[in-house]
Amino acid sequence: MLRTMKKHALRLLNFLLAAAVGALVIDVLLGVASRYLWGAQIKWTEELATVLLVWVSFLGIAAAFEARAHLGIDILAERFSGGVKPKMTLFIHIVTLLFVLIVFEVGGIKLVLQAIRHWNVLPALQVSDVVQFLPLPVSGLFILLFECCNLKDDLRRKSDE
């Protein structure tokens, strides 16, 4: 079941990431073109680029977790050998899960709720600033799923040895 959820989540993540990067490229090109063609940048392009960059960054973090491409996480475990290495790997998984739960989920949800409560509007886009904080809990859900799958794979690998 976890594998199926991961497969569908990865498909969704890749779609969202591709869409956000595509929109970011078009937005930046539109901003640059408007500056050269009309002598002034379209007002909302810079603000949209900022929002899209936040989304791309946080979704990219989740994609890196799925690919096990975060540098600092594996480097620490690789420094150990023998019986200490599996224990360190388990410790890193637990710390990562706790960090994502506390910072991304609890903190991210608090930020989103606070943004909803205050309901500030981005001046150029005329949308709520919730769109700037929403990537935190959204990417956190992806990271939690991928990290749980990675933990399960590592535990299975350890039991097979």
Strand partners, 121: 128
Alpha-carbon distance of 35 to 113, in angstroms, equals: 37
pLDDT, tens only, 117-153: 999 999 999 999 999 999 999 999 999 999 999 999 8
Greater model confidence, 3 or 161: 3
Residue 74 has pLDDT above 80, yes or no: no
Calculate mean pLDDT across residues 155-160. 76
> C-alpha distances in angstroms, 2 versus 94, 141, 145, 159?
18, 13, 8, 19
* Residue 86 pLDDT: 82
* Residue 117 pLDDT: 96
Among left, alpha and beta (phi > 0; psi -120 to 50; other), residue 70 is beta
Greater model confidence, 75 or 112: 112
* Residue 23 pLDDT: 98
pLDDT, tens only, 82-124: 788 888 888 989 999 999 999 999 999 999 999 999 999 999 9
What is residue 79's DSSP assignment? T
Cβ proximity of 102 and 94 under 8 Å: no
Calculate mean pLDDT across residues 30-56. 96
* Residue 85 pLDDT: 81
* Residue 71 pLDDT: 67
Residue 72 has pLDDT above 70, yes or no: no
